[in-house]
């Protein structure tokens, strides 16, 4: 299961690099990080999504 979340994290990092103004990418990354036990980092991505209007 961890491998799945690591792949998802890589995917969202790539999406953010290509399209950094899309709040949905940050929301997705937030969910992935939360699943990986990183609540503080997850919260930062969620806040970024909100700032972008998502």
Number of residues in the chain: 54
- Residue span of the structural domain in which 10 resides: 2-51
Three-state DSSP class for residue 1? coil
User: C-alpha distances in angstroms, 1 versus 5, 15, 49, 50?
Assistant: 7, 21, 26, 28
Averaged pLDDT for residues 1-15: 94
Domain count for the chain: 1
pLDDT of 48 reads 98
Model pTM greater than 0.75? yes
pLDDT of 1 reads 77
Averaged pLDDT for residues 21-38: 98
Averaged pLDDT for residues 35-43: 97
In the numeric block, the tokens 């997850």 are attached to 42
Averaged pLDDT for residues 5-22: 97
Residue 54 in this model has a pLDDT that exceeds 80: no
């Amino acid at each position: 299961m961890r491998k799945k979340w690591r792949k998802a994290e890589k995917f969202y990092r790539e999406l953010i690099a290509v399209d950094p103004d899309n709040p949905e990418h940050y929301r997705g990354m937030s969910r992935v990080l939360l699943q990986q036990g990183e609540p503080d980092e997850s919260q930062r991505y969620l806040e970024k999504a909100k700032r972008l209007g998502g």
